Structure 1
Amino acid sequence: MEKAIITVVGKDQVGIIAKVCAYLADAQINILDISQTILDGFFNMMMIVDASHAKGEFYEIAEELEKLGEEIGVNIKLQHEDIFNKMHRI
């Protein structure tokens, strides 16, 4: 299993989750866990996904998600689980 972390941050608006999830479904990326909150009008979502069967290379998917984020006005980042863990170790 190739786990990855997706973060989505930005001003809240209708359709953020739907658009991100639709992209992931089209790319054959399975959502394993998802958490989202809205704080004072700002949207924050974190997803753990399985990219083992993803269509395309990891870097291409990361670029496409960033582009999707620009289109809908949020910041979307995709990282391998091991890199995310090392970056956020205390």
Structure 2
Amino acid sequence: MEEGKRLIITVLGHDRVGIIAGISSILAEANINILDINQTILQGFFAMVMVVDSSQSRLDIGELRRRLHEKGRELGLEITVQHEDIFKFMHRI
């Protein structure tokens, strides 16, 4: 995998049907592979973190953010997309 092609996607919002399907379909259309996924529901709140590989995608991160933001607005979610290295830097101990 090319360096810098792993992205971290976070999703937060009220739980509802279709969240994972909606997000994963956007990733599949963009030829982005899900490497790891962790999701939980805490008292009705949905929280998910995904590590994805965008090395085979022709979609730039700005367009991916736009598409996921649009899906998030449709589903009532906050969705963020960050390069893995930026995520690690921001969340170091």
Q: TM-score range by the shorter chain?
A: over 0.9
Q: Structure 1 length normalisation: TM-score?
A: 0.96
How many aligned positions are there?
90
Gapped regions of structure 1 (runs ≥ 5): none
Query: Which residue of the partner structure matches residue 36 of structure 2?
Result: 33
What is the Cα deviation at residue 55 of structure 1? Answer: 2.9
Q: Percent identity?
A: 54
Structure 2 unaligned runs (5+)? none
Q: 2:11 aligns with which of 8, 11, 15?
A: 8
> What SS does the aligned partner of 2:69 have?
helix
Query: TM-score, structure 2 length as denominator?
Result: 0.93
Alignment of structure 1 residues 35-50 onto 2, 5 Å: 35-50=38-53
Counterpart residue number, 1:20: 23
- Secondary structure of the corresponding residue to residue 79 of structure 1: strand
What is the CA–CA distance in structure 2 between the aligned matches of 1:41 and 1:78, rounded to whole Å?
23
Equivalent AA in structure 2 for residue 20 of structure 1: I
Distance 1:77 1:86 in 2: 16
Shift of 1:57: 1.2
Partner of 1:61: 64
